[in-house]
Structure 1
Amino acid sequence: MEISRQLAGYVAAAGEQALTDDLREAACRSVLDLVIAAAAGVAASGPRAVRRVARVTMAGGALPVWFSGETAGLAGAVWCNASAAAALDLDDGHRMARGHPGAAIIPAALAAAQEAGSTTQELLRAIVVGYEVGVAVGAARRFYANTGMWSGHGVVAALGALRRTPPEALAHAFAIAGMSAPNQLHAGAGPAFRAQEGSDVKEGIPWSSVTAVNALLLAEAGHGGPLGLLDNDEHFRLEGLVAGLGRQNYIVRNYMKFHACCRHVHAPVEALLGLLARHRIDPHRIEAIEVATYGGALRLANRPRPQGFTDVQFSIPYCLALVAIDGGDALLPLTGDAVDRTDVAALADKVSLHLDPELDARFPAETLSRVMIRSEGRGFVSPVTAPRGEASAPPSWADLEEKLQRATRIVATVAQQRRLLDALGHLRDGNHASLLQTFASLTLDPA
């Protein structure tokens, strides 16, 4: 049986199963974290552009475009909300898939749940199923692929679970989504391709979600796809791709971010901040910053003078210089004021990056870095540092509430933050109705 049909069979069977407490809690925490990313990112230029285009190309529908006061149909709402969630690179990620499932799966699940009138239990179960399928496909690839090349499978799984799509149509939806996913080989197939630069495309996450939504609707309408697409040993490690579904519990093992930048930047930032605080180093007296890291971090563009707001998120030198001068809050959230600063660029020019074979051997299971600062003739060396929010040390609900307050402080009032936190608390208590109502009626600062 084709893998697409096996995935469909898993989704159909999972739709009747109860959630364990740990999976339910993980799904709620993932929604909280994703909503933080979307609320903080709603005013960024990329999401604003998506909303403008969606008003023209996807007009109509009653589903909320979060925090904007606008509405759209299923594909339009998913496109806009996924774009906001991915805009600041503050969304969750998964080490095994080397990408970001939440920004694709959760906006789609919330929109489909509202459209279908699903219960909270059904919503949370669909999110768990979406992570299980999406991460499984991403992790099975034999070469690195940007998120948009595999996240559509997670979107189809979540939608299919909520819409109770018949298994045969769901199998075709997986195939259509895989065939229609954005081709991003130029950005993620190995060292032969140029370094990854920042852009509002964001690994194709928002647009691949649109293609996945339409893949499901097409399949339900009778459109066929290449069912054998995943049955390719040259592209996928087939053994275990389907067999472990429902037991992997991938959603429990995602990481969460406390800086609005690429995950490869986080460990150097944490190491640098620790050194600055521990030794009370004056950033204006820094002579050099040396970063020992792994190969994945060196695949970023890492421009000392980034080419725009999003490119800042993909520059270790610039982000290090920014937090050295402005402090850790400079990246939670990242704002347009960080772009084209001569003082930051001058310090970024003093940052050098090099490959550490021992740290490289521990990637991608771990993303570790070590930083040395030279200042006033002395050298200060950090320990090997991991990012905050790893699956091995997951943030608590209270940690994420604090993240919301810090990340949205520019776009939301204290009262608006409290309202959003209350709605997310109700989700955790078993009722997502107030969260949907908040999405529709709470307008932040999208202008």
Structure 2
Amino acid sequence: MTVAASSLVQQLALLLQRPVDMPARQRAAALLVDWLGCALGGLRSPLAAQLQTLLAAGASAPGPCTAVSVGARTIHDALLLNAALGNVLEMDDVHRTAILHPGPVVIPVALAACQQAGGNGHDLLDAIVRGYEATIRIGRALGTSHYRYWHPTSTAGAFGAAAAAASVLGLDAGQTADALGTAGSRTGGLWQMRHEDVPTKSLHNAQAAQSGWQAAWLASAGVRGPLRILEGEQGLFAATAPQADAAAVTAPEADWLIHATSLKPWPACRHAHPAIDALRDALATRVADDGVAIASIHVATYAEALRFCDRPEPVTALQAKFSLQHALAAICVRGTPQLADYTEAACHDAAIAAFRQRVVVAEDAGCSARFPQHYGASVQLQLADGRVLSASRIDAWGDPEQPMATADIDAKALALAGWGGVADELADALIVQVRALTEGGTLDALNELLLRVSPCR
């Protein structure tokens, strides 16, 4: 069958076969550092303790893969814990146009598959690059009509997990297409979990990782998958994405799409970051802290940010991460955003709670028109003496247009690891080993360090 006549997943599988270059591997290593920090920080969460208890109770013979903080486990168990941990703190990476987080699904699969198959450093980084590519291409094709009800990190992430596993397993284009088809036949989760105080969002990532791995594993044995799973009459686009852009799956790109990802410097939903940055910019225009109170803050941003983050009275840590009002109030009261500002205690902090009442949010038509290519916001601070301070952001810190430096990425990972109870010495050693993966070699040193991570108590 020629490429022109082949299905979308067959064409995507061919694109994934091309060699991975050193810049892409270096970007993969940076994103692996970021994921690792997020996962280690997530060890402090209630979900981590619950999953650790389950895995410890169900332990049989140890497997070849590392479930972070639990030890050597089967690949299924490692993916359950590792893929959930990376999203718990809401500080995972993001691709704006695809409106999803590739790292928490793709990276645990690439790591576990290499541990199981005996892959080396380049195998791991190449699998990450290919997994991101598949995730982003599918995610941007699904678009905002899918995002309205479905969790695209889980939907598209299953494709990325299959692509990452296929890379490690050395599947050819035909087998990779089968794996993509099988993975895509399982649809991502619904957003209803956003309206309830549950950890389901993180569990979606684990389920996508597990199903993507299984799809590639089955394809390695010759199990076929539905090749028109995307564009077929009862395929994913028809069922869940009425405005899908099929061309986005295979559109030519000058480089690997892993370079187009954004990182999160702040512990909140990405939709809140442009407003956070704009507020910090406005506050920086004050000549000095003259003691003049901020009477009100007016935020104008895109509609999707309001749909997710217009929450004036959060009462839990999860709700705080999805509250524009809380994010900005916490900065005005406490300064630079920290993880401690997004806890249940912070929600009930009297000063922050009072300041939230001064934050007014509204849609900005220009920001909405630029979404999802750009996540923007503007703020106006009305001071008690009548002065007005203003600032706007089209993009946020951590986007490709305003990237985080290597030192900033490493500092974030170290801070998150500390939040999760991991000693600085161990966290620093892990980062060094991850950065060294670009040179190739075995994963032995990294695996040994991962086995030293203990539960946060």
TM-score (norm 1): 0.88
Distance 1:311 1:284 in 2: 30
The aligned counterpart of 1:402 is: 411
Amino acid at match of 1:258: P
The corresponding residue for 2:177 is: 171
Counterpart residue type for residue 63 of structure 1: C
The answer to whether the Cα contact below 8 Å between 1:181 and 1:211 also exists between their aligned partners in 2 is no
- Give matches, 1:317-356, under 5 Å: 317-331=325-339, 334-335=342-343, 337-356=345-364
Partner of residue 441, structure 1: 452
Residue 442 of structure 1 aligns to a residue whose secondary structure is coil
- Residue of structure 1 in register with 2:189 after alignment: 183
Report if the CA contact (8 A) 1:27-1:127 is conserved.
yes
Q: 1:58 to 1:162 in 2, by over 3 A?
A: farther
- Residue 420 of structure 1: which of 420, 426, 430 is its match? 430
What is the CA-CA distance between 1:414 and the residue it aligns to?
Answer: 2.8
Task: Give the aligned length.
Answer: 433
Q: What per-residue deviation string (whole Å, max 9, x for no partner) do you get for residues 54-81 of structure 1?
A: 4456865231112x14232112211211
Tell me by how many angstroms 1:89 deviates. Answer: 1.0
Residue in 2 that maps onto 1:364: 372
Which amino acid in the other structure matches residue 10 of structure 2?
Answer: R
What is the aligned counterpart of 2:305 among 257, 280, 297? 297
Please state how far the C-alpha of 1:338 moved relative to its aligned partner. 2.5
- Which letter does structure 1 place at the counterpart of 2:281? G
Range moving further from structure 2, 75-84 or 213-222: 213-222
Alignment correspondent of 1:192 = none
Check whether the contact 2:347–2:353 (CA below 8 A) recurs between aligned residues.
Answer: no
Residues 333, 407 of structure 1: 8 Å contact kept = no
1:194-343 equivalent positions in 2, closer than 5 A: 199-202=198-201, 204-221=204-221, 223-232=223-232, 234=238, 235=241, 236-242=244-250, 244=252, 247-279=254-286, 280=288, 285-331=293-339, 334-335=342-343, 337-343=345-351
Give the 3 Å change call, closer, same or farther, for CA 274–392 of structure 1 in structure 2: closer
The TM-score, its normalising length taken from structure 2, stands at: 0.86
Partner of 2:117: 116
Do 1:40 and 1:333's aligned partners in 2 also have CA atoms closer than 8 Å? no
**2:13 is the counterpart of 1:8:** yes
Partners of 1:259 and 1:393 in 2: how far apart?
A: 14
Structure 1 range deviating more: 172-181 or 153-162: 172-181
The amino acid across from 1:439 in the alignment is: L
Inter-partner Cα distance in structure 2 for 1:219 and 1:329: 45
- CA shift digits 1:98-139 (9 cap, x unpaired): 110011101110111111111212221111111111110111
Partner residue of 2:391?
Answer: 383
**CA separation of 1:121/1:356 partners in 2, compared to 1, >3 Å: closer, same or farther?**
same
Distance 1:221 1:49, change over 3 A: farther
Q: 1:284 Cα deviation (Å)?
A: 9.4
Unaligned runs of 5+ in 1: 188-194
- What residue number does 1:32 align with? 33
- Which residue does 2:91 correspond to in 1? 90
What fraction of aligned residue pairs are identical, expressed as a percent? 26
Q: Distance in 1 between matches of 2:291 and 2:307?
A: 27
Q: Aligned equivalents of 1:283 and 1:154: distance in 2?
A: 51
Contact 1:197 1:300 (C-alpha < 8 Å) held by counterparts: no
2:64 aligned partner: 62
What is the CA distance between 1:248 and its match in structure 2? 4.4
Q: Secondary structure at the match of 1:378?
A: coil
Q: Aligned equivalents of 1:254 and 1:283: distance in 2?
A: 39
Q: Which amino acid aligns with 2:331?
A: V
Decide whether the 8 Å contact of 1:90 with 1:257 is kept in 2.
yes
Provide the rounded CA distance (Å) in 1 between the counterparts of 2:356 and 2:199.
23
For 1:48 and 1:333, how far apart are their aligned partners in 2? 22
- 1:5 is displaced (CA, Å) by 3.0
1:382 is paired with a residue of what secondary structure? Answer: strand
Measured after TM superposition, the shift of residue 408 of structure 1 is 2.9
Q: Is the contact between residue 36 and residue 403 of structure 1 (CA under 8 Å) also seen in structure 2?
A: yes
Matched to 1:201, the amino acid is T
Opposite residue 211 of structure 1, the aligned amino acid is S
Give the superposition deviation at 1:49: 2.3
Q: Distance in 1 between matches of 2:291 and 2:271?
A: 22
Q: Partner of 1:361: helix, strand, or coil?
A: helix
Deviation, 1:277, is 4.0
Tell me if structure 2 keeps the 8 A contact 1:58–1:76: no
